[in-house]
Structure 1
């Protein structure tokens, strides 16, 4: 059995930032797995949706932000509709993607730069749409 070390202080600021952006409470998740069971994109994920929430609960933000799961989330809100505790994982994923983009220095998106970003095959389209929605006003 692998022992998981609980380290809430190391990434406490990142977890608080996720809560601030998404307005979701990570600790409300009771790990029932309904989000994972209903997720249409789960086959492409390296960390399952309910595991993302568990990593955030344990303060393992580094594992979450390095995963491909945050970029493979389709933001279809199936997870939110299935959650018995009302945790909207799609909002959390969007917040994590936004934090990742901000760390890379891309925290502001201008409409005139969208065509250039669309040529970058590594830039996920949902991140562009999300950033445009938040920062074009």
Structure 2
């Protein structure tokens, strides 16, 4: 129900429900999921969740845990130079703020 309106649910490797369960069980494998990175923080899941779980906040917390461990999600060297030239500077800056430690 929570993820039925999620615009990026099809890109997630684990469902938000499974993400919550892994967190409850203390399973570190949740930190290797790409689900937290594809979340747009649009809060659709938060509004729809019958249990009032703030999935966007959980995703942000997981991102912060990874980044504080120095596990960056993106590296500038992985972005082709021609793409870097085309991208607006604000897109690069916002991505590095969100995806790097």
Query: If the length of structure 1 is used for normalisation, what is the TM-score?
Result: 0.53
Count of equivalent residues: 86
2:9 corresponds, among 34, 39, 42, to 42
Question: What is the root-mean-square deviation of aligned Cα atoms in Å?
Answer: 2.9
Residues 121, 73 of structure 1: CA spacing in aligned structure 2 closer, same or farther, 3 A cutoff? farther
- Structure 2 counterpart of 1:84: 50
- Conservation of the 8 A alpha-carbon contact between 1:94 and 1:130: no
- Structure 2 counterpart of 1:15: none
Query: If the length of structure 2 is used for normalisation, what is the TM-score?
Result: 0.70
2:66 is aligned with 1:100: yes
- Conservation of the 8 A alpha-carbon contact between 1:55 and 1:64: yes
Could you tell me which runs of 5 or more consecutive residues in structure 2 were left unpaired when the two chains were aligned: 80-91
Distance in 2 between residues matched to 1:72 and 1:55, nearest whole Å: 18
Could you tell me which runs of 5 or more consecutive residues in structure 1 were left unpaired when the two chains were aligned: 1-33, 107-116, 132-137
